[in-house]
Structure 1
Amino acid sequence: MRGELELLSILNDLEEFIQNSARVPMTKKVLVDEEKLLDFLDRARTILPEEVRKAKWLVQEREKVINESRQEAARLLEEAQKEVERRAEQSEVVRRAKEMADEIIMKAEKAAREMRLGARDYADDVLSKLEARVEKIVKEIEGGRLELKNMK
């Protein structure tokens, strides 16, 4: 900041020096004291390197901040992309798990239905055989009773 003010002061002094210098009649030219003009230029040159160095440093810092910001933005973008992919995968896993659960439930219901039908068919078969045996026993009983009646 100090260097900027000094440089502005030197430039203002140089401008005032030129405005107050003698003019060549009928032209826009001025006559200046060469030694004084060179003194202004030397004073400006001594201040400029420091200001140029500061300006270069500021540009480098700005570039550094911009690069860091770009890297951070790229990192955040990559993280966001990974999160989107992770959620998509989770969504796919959930969808597949639901499909599998639905399929398992469907198979279990089918197996239960088949078991009920099989149990009913088995019970019917057992009862049918029992009925046939009971009928045979009933016929034997009737035959035995008929023999008893005929013995009288």
Structure 2
Amino acid sequence: MDLNIFNVLDELEDMIDNSKRVLGKVLINEEALLEYVDKIRTLLPEEIHQAKWLSKERERLIQEAHQESERIISDTREEIKRLSDESEVVRQAKENAEEIIVQSKRLAQEIKSGAADYADDILNRLENNLSQSLTVIGQARDELNQMK
């Protein structure tokens, strides 16, 4: 059985929905509730590990984009130097090289921005999921404490 935090939370929600109600309160088997809390605790470290991995992956993508942009700029400069020995071709080469540099910088920025946006989106979704999980856990604990 593939357990992930969302499956466990869905099961917990089903248990709450299907539990007996007395005077507006839900009666839940304490042992079953604690079992769900333990499952969630077990699964949370994996979610946190995934968030750390995504952060490292984001940094790696940004670093790769930076290295690629540096390589492109270096290649362009070498091309400019090689072409600078020719007369009329030199003028045209400089124009082309400058355009390539501009395009390379723009491309590098787009790659960096895309990698950062992708990583931020993943981390944002993970943060929302964890926040929802913590809210459900807090509500379950509050209900449990009210039953004492």
Question: TM (normalized to structure 1)?
Answer: 0.47
Structure showing greater Rg = 1
Q: Which has the higher contact order (CA 8 A, sep 6+)?
A: 2
Question: TM (normalized to structure 2)?
Answer: 0.48
